[in-house]
Amino acid sequence: MLHNLLDHYINASEEQLTHGFTWYKKANRICVKLSLKHDLPLYKVVGILSALSPRNKWERNIIDAESVIIHGMKASVCTFNPNKEKAVKILHCGDESEAFRLLNGRKVQSFYNNILKPKKVSTVTVDVHAMRSVGLDRAPNKGLYDAVEEAYTELGELLGMLPHEAQAVIWGVVRG
C-alpha cells in the first residue's frame, strides 16, 4: 500500500501538492466564517458539513451546510435525507461529543476531525478514492480502513506531514 501511495505522491503536480497541503486548513476557514456569520459553535458547523458530505460535491456541501444552518429540516440539500436529519440533530445538539457521536461513521468522523483540527489530528478520511489510491476498488471494512489509514500515517511520517495532508494530496491525484 505504501508503495502505491508513494507513486501517487511522486506523480503529484505542484498544484496538487499545494492544494492537498492546504485543503483541510481552507475547509476549516470556511467553517470558521460560517460559524461567525451565524453565531454557531465551530464544532456544529463542521459537524453539519461532515454529516452532509457523503456523495456531495464540496462546493454544494458548503451551500447545503449553510442552508441547514438557516432553514433546519426545511433546507434543500443534495444528499441523502438521513444525512440531512443528522445535520439538523447536530445543529440542535448540546456539545461537541454529541455532535461527533451523531456522525456515527468512521469516515465521516475522520472528515470532521480533519476539518475541525487540521493542524493537530492524525486521522485519515478513508473514502473510495483513498481505497483506489492503494489499488483497492471497494468500500473499506474495519480491517481495510485500519490498513489504509496506517499506510497514510507511514507516508506522512516519511514525508514529514500529517497523514490527512498526504491523503488530501493523493486524493487530488487519484481524482485527477
pLDDT digits (tens, 9 = 90+) for 50-99: 999 998 999 999 999 999 999 999 999 999 999 999 999 999 999 999 99
- Measure Cα distances from 145 to 2, 15, 66, 138, 170 in Å: 14, 28, 30, 11, 16
| Residues 6 or more apart whose Cβ sits within 8 Å of residue 147 | 1
Mean pLDDT to the nearest integer, 110-117: 97
Are the C-beta atoms of residues 2 and 154 closer than 8 Å to each other? yes
What's the total number of domains in the chain? 1
Mean pLDDT to the nearest integer, 100-107: 95
What is the per-residue pLDDT for 137? 86
In this structure, how many other beta carbons lie within 10 angstroms of the beta carbon of residue 131? 18
Asked if residue 176 has pLDDT above 80, the reply is no
Asked if residue 118 has pLDDT above 80, the reply is yes
Where in the sequence is the domain holding 11, given as residue range(s)?
2-175
Specify the DSSP element, H or E, that contains 168. helix 163-175
**pTM exceeds 0.85 for this model:** yes
Asked if residue 175 has pLDDT above 90, the reply is no
Specify the DSSP element, H or E, that contains 150. helix 142-159
pLDDT digits (tens, 9 = 90+) for 10-51: 999 999 999 999 999 999 999 999 999 999 999 999 999 999
Coil, helix or strand for 98? helix
